[in-house]
Amino acid sequence: MAFTTSMLFQTVQGDKRVQAIRVTADGATGTVPTSLNVVEACVVGPVSAPTNPVIAINQGTTGTSILGTVGMTSCTSGNVYQLIVYGH
């Protein structure tokens, strides 16, 4: 299943690019694309969700390497999360 995403902002902090992305889960698992070549760190917070999902940086939901993405599992359809992503 795909997730619905929207970029809230992009900026630069030091030598890292920083993005805030709002994610609405359309299913239990999904991959969130960024415009980064490599994701170095990601912080996730629930906007309207009871718990945080499990995330994997630079990986899809099956564990395959997909640079510049964040894989999310253990989501519930309709939940909304906010990601703060650091990378280059």
What confidence score (pLDDT) does residue 51 get? Answer: 85
Mean pLDDT, the chain, rounded, equals: 94
Give the neighbor-by-neighbor strand order of the sheet with 16-24.
4-13, 16-24, 80-87, 39-48
Amino acid present at 47: V
List, for residues 35-74, the tens digit of each pLDDT value: 999 999 999 999 998 988 999 999 988 889 999 999 999 9
Domain that holds residue 69: 4-87
Q: Is the pLDDT at 75 greater than 70, yes or no?
A: yes
Contact present, 84 and 18 (Cβ < 8 Å): yes
State yes or no: pLDDT of 1 exceeds 80: no
| Total tally of structural domains belonging to the chain | 1
What's 31's domain CATH number? 2.60.40
pTM for this entry: 0.91
